[in-house]
Amino acid sequence: MQANQEKNDQSAHDYTALLNALVNASLKIQPLMLEAISKFDFNRLQKETPIQFHSMRDAYEDYIRTFTDNPQKFAEMHMDFTRKWMELWQKSVTEFVSGTHERAKDATQQSGIPHRKDRRFSSELWEKSAFFSFIKQYYLMTADIFEEAINDAEHIDEDTKKRVSFYLKQYIDAMAPTNFLFTNPDVIQETIDSKGENLVRGFENLINDMERGQGLLKISTTDYKAFEIGKNIARTKGKVVFRNHLMELIQYEATTEKVHKKPVFISPPWINKYYILDLQEKNSFVKWLTDKGHTVFIISWVNPGKEHAACNFATYVHDGVLKALDVVQDITKEKSCNAIGYCVGGTALTMALSYLHTKGQEDRIASATFFTTLVDFSHAGDLKLFMDETHLDIIDSEMEIKGYLPAEIFRNTFSMLRANDMIWSFVVNNYLMGQTPFPFDILFWNDDTTNMPAALHHSYLKDLYLQNKLAIPNGFEIDDVPINVTKIKTPTYCLATIDDHIVPWISAYKTTQLFSGPIEFTLSASGHVAGVINHPDKNKYCYWKNKKSETTAEKWYDGAKMHKGSWWPDFEKWLVKFSDGEQVPARKCGNTTYKPLDDAPGRYVSMKAPE
């Protein structure tokens, strides 16, 4: 009894301390708020959504119709929810009144209430209090019930189910109790401990992010002052040896006395900047390759403006990939090179390979490597759910005025695909806890976004995502030259990542069934970026290999063997096979025809997206 009284006294003391902290924070925030209101044009907050939600209404109506057609199913779902709610309520009230609180895991084993690992609820404060444990369990239980209701819905197609599930998940993630001051025990405790200073700092962070977005909320995900392009990021030594309206070609300085005969050419994605492959020395793929004795060239794509509106895949293939091959061949005096394509840069490389085959020039590329690249877009992940003709019309109308799709739309769209990690975790950290994001080079790169030319993006959505023309023999054309990827016989190394939410690995595996040449498929742990940028020195993650080619990704995985550590050494061992064996004296950057223009990382990498 005395223990319960002490507990109640402590609770009263905490509520008083919380009230005092909130009053203190409010007094300090008021002048900051007045300053912010006078500074910003809040009408700019009415900006286009990152993913157009025009299809949400139709998908929701189809979903609701399944219950109007089957009222018994709706009644059963409602009764199940009521039963679970009563079990949770009874357990929580008993624990709260008695002053005893079982750990949630033990309780759920008795009642069937959901309990799963969720990083949002990792703090022990969620388990110490019956009140907060109730909030957590009620939230997780409701989320699970909604998910089950969608999965069990009858008479609607899988795409509609996925659309409804995605929209619902956005709402459920946004309404998580971790995102609000009075339902997050960590925030409450920090508010009490700091006497409200966390909320003051959080509001200052909010203002700074509004300033950074020029009136729009642009959530900080890292410490941007910690990195400077060319200083401590994208700093591998090299020269820009060619520049045109679309790209700069960088040749990196050799770090060994002799180098492999065949050079390496890289076509990176033009969504974000090329230096994802050259972050810091400790995780630079480019630096690692040069240290292994390879002559490395990489494209740095321009950040397009209105003048690039008409640029399409043919432009990127001719003025990008193929022109880069010309320069590499002239500088190294080699008739072929080993080519690497990353994501959409790999898609362009695929088009170039087929184009060269049709022209009888396929021997210009000795081997091709693809990092997380889609060729068959039939199952292209969550992004494909929102690619329909109506969406394309909306995007086209937005691009018609500017001549490009603004970079910010890409950034927000990809963030929404992983809202808890890329949005809400930073809302809690930055604005509720009042903390500064940790310096993280990958997130610095992730925020360094680029535009997409109107013609290119239209083709990307319509020809590839909607109509999947690249996977259809002669279904796609580059300057009236039919593209048939089934004719590609170039030895190929395909890398996919198991947790990729942009290029699902099962879809990436389809490339092995399209190309006609020998293909080695590797599956890495982690996601679209972290699974690729994995220096061997970190001894992190793992990868899977199966030397036997299978007709489906599932069969391939069943027979695959897991290997510890990075896949980089496995790839480099494969790459050397196509480097002609002998080594030659280290090459200098450029030649008399292609004289060095600037030091790496060049000019285009610093181009910001037009406001």
Beta strand spans in 320-415 (E):
337-342, 365-371, 404-405
Helix (H, G, I), strand (E, B) or coil at 584: strand
**Tell me, what amino acid is at 534?**
N
* DSSP 8-class letter at 84: H
Q: Are 427 and 179 in contact (CB under 8 A)?
A: yes
Q: Count CB-CB contacts under 10 A for residue 301.
A: 23
User: Residue 75: which of 83, 67, 87 has the closest Cα?
Assistant: 67
End-to-end CA distance of the chain: 64
In the block, which residue shows the tokens 């610095």?
A: 444
CA-based nearest residue to 205, from 446, 448, 437? 437
> Token pair of 357, please?
């085959």
Residue ranges of the alpha helices (H) in 112-156? 125-128, 130-151
**CA atoms of 304 and 403, how far apart (whole Å):** 9
Q: Are strands 296-301 and 247-252 parallel, antiparallel or unpaired?
A: antiparallel
Q: Distance of alpha carbon 392 from its chain centroid, rounded?
A: 22
Residue 548: left if φ>0, alpha if ψ -120 to 50, beta else—which one?
beta
Helix (H/G/I), strand (E/B), else coil: 529: coil
Reported in sequence order, the residue ranges of 268-364 that DSSP labels E, i.e. its strands, are: 296-301, 337-342
Q: Which residues on neighbouring strands pair with residue 251, listed in sequence order?
A: 239, 297
* CB atoms inside a 10 Å sphere around CB 436: 15
Number of H helices, E strands in the chain: 22, 17
Task: Yes or no: say if 517 and 490 are a contact pair by the CB < 8 Å rule.
Answer: yes
Helix or strand run (H / E) with residue 202 = helix 197-212
Report cis status (omega within 30 of 0) of the bond before 304. no
What is the spatial distance between Cα 187 and Cα 189, in angstroms, rounded to a whole number? 5
Which is nearest to 544 in space by CA: 565, 520, 522?
522
Helix (H, G, I), strand (E, B) or coil at 239: strand
| Catalytically active residues, by annotation | 343
Please give the Cα distance from 486 to 516 (Å, whole number).
6
User: CA angle, 162 as apex, 159 and 168 as ends, to 5°?
Assistant: 145
| Spatial separation of the C-alpha atoms in residues 574 and 566, rounded to whole Å | 14
Torsion of CA 326, 329, 335, 338, to 10 degrees: -90
DSSP assignment, residue 610? Answer: P
Count how many Cα atoms sit within 13 Å of the Cα of residue 56 in the half-sphere of its side chain: 12
